[in-house]
Structure 1
Amino acid sequence: MTEYLLARMQEGMVLLYAFSLIFFYMDFLLNNRKAKKAAFWLLYVIWLVQTILVVDFYIRTARLPLLSLEQGLYFYSWLLITFSILINRYWKVEFIAFFTNLLGFIIVVIYTFAPFQWEESAVSARLISELLIIHIVITIFAYVIFSLSCIFSLLYLLQYQLLKKKRWGKRLIRINDLSKLEQYAYLLNSIGLPTFSVGIILGLQWAFIKIPTLHIFDAKIIGSFFIVFIYSMLVYFRLRKNMAGKRLAFYNISAFLVVLINFFLSGNFSTFHF
């Protein structure tokens, strides 16, 4: 295979990994069987692509990709997927594929977009540039999801006030019932959290390649991980602590304010997006 084709296949595999990981997370959090089925179909495609690449490497070099740390990581990620599929097929261990997929995704991202991976500078530069584009698109998509979740919480508070003050009318009827509004906000947070996390992983990989002086305590990095922590707590409180109602809606709106602060203000104190 040509180097360009290999680059395209591995880049596509990263995207499939990201979507598979999001679907696995939805199944893990929401017990959604349709999401689980979609995640495994994507995982089978990923395994097929990785197998083709491993076989191609063996044909070209007459050996398995094991003689360097980078090659070993790639072979390790392929074995992770292989065994996770086999375990799920014969042992039916729930969620094993989710965690192995998460680890495999991180390894493949590092391997695919590492500067030592491609000999041709044009291919390397293009991959790194596209990595940045993918990071931006996924992160913006997560921002949209968080925005919609915040809107549902605002509608929840509005509906709550209308019911409390007994202001019956068309406005009350047109807004959905409280339980539905809360459910939609929670569902969106459950989707937005893994989506944003995937965007962070891709963004960090790009930053470590392109910004040699980047510090781990950069304001943008700290702010992004703080967002992951806040929304993880929101999902945890809703799922395990049975927190609901007006209190959870206020927390969700406050979490989105943190997103806005990270988006508009932390960049002024960061070299990440310079």
Structure 2
Amino acid sequence: MTENDTLAQYSDWAFESAFAVLVLALLLLVAEYATHRADVVAERERELVAAGRQQAPAERATGPGRIDQTPRRTVSQRLGNMGRALVVVVAGLQLASIVLRGLATERFPLGNMYEFVSMACTAAVIFGLIVLRKPAYRIMWVYLVVPVLILMFLAATVLYADAAPVVPALRSFWLPIHVTIISVGSGIFLVSGVASVLFLLRIRFPKGEERSGVFAAIAERLPDAQTLDRLAYRTTIIGFPLFGAGIILGAIWAEAAWGRFWGWDPKETVSFISWVVYAAYLHARATSGWRNTRAAWINIVGFVTVLFNLFIINMVVSGLHSYAGLN
């Protein structure tokens, strides 16, 4: 086994380890959800007991001699913190997998769908660590981890390609620029799409309403609808110009490689449609009559077009970008 083969093996192990750790993180995050109701009931009981006590004036007084006890973390909080700590480990393993893949192939590791999806999932996890760090957003991790796990599973099975040199058409300095921007933008759109789905769920089951059912129980711990809508909007504002820049740079690369900036290739066309849909979402979000569920549905449709472009166009439709499919 050559050194490059060894590095490729290490890259696969890092990817598989990231998947396994992310599964464990999901279990902890789900357990956080499951134990939340019991923690809430216990907290209410403690509040009732404390309210029923008649404290003496000396006990109520505050001063230098009084020691305030630090509130203990509940079981739900501890489980959530452990799950989110594992997500940080996952991000490190994902980055290690990408770097090792690049060293093994002696090129930028974005030459096929496996590597593209790996980069997009890494971008989604790292971006999630940035935007979901506030306490109000932390509970959303359980919903972001699920689609990332699904994409990683597909990358490791259906989309997997051995570490190898790329076809001549991809041997260009535009590869790391164009494809990196597109993959990172796609990862950011994943976070935005999840936020819009949860926004619609929260609209259906508002806070303060006692309702039964699976979806009502799922929505119980979600932030309020305004918070979720704001997160989806701000996230799209970041991903939209990145994705647009990736399309423009791809057109410049196409002119250098094929002698034309735009040829209405299927992948180019659907990428442009995705960009238009996200532009429509931002416009709808700024229009008072479309701010609520209509704008959220447009945002979800935008991410569906991104997935359609990634899987259907690459794997089913034949075009100039067919070399980016399964190797």
TM-score between both structures, scaled by the size of structure 1: 0.49
Greater fraction of residues in helix: 1
Q: Which has the larger radius of gyration?
A: 2
TM-score between both structures, scaled by the size of structure 2: 0.41
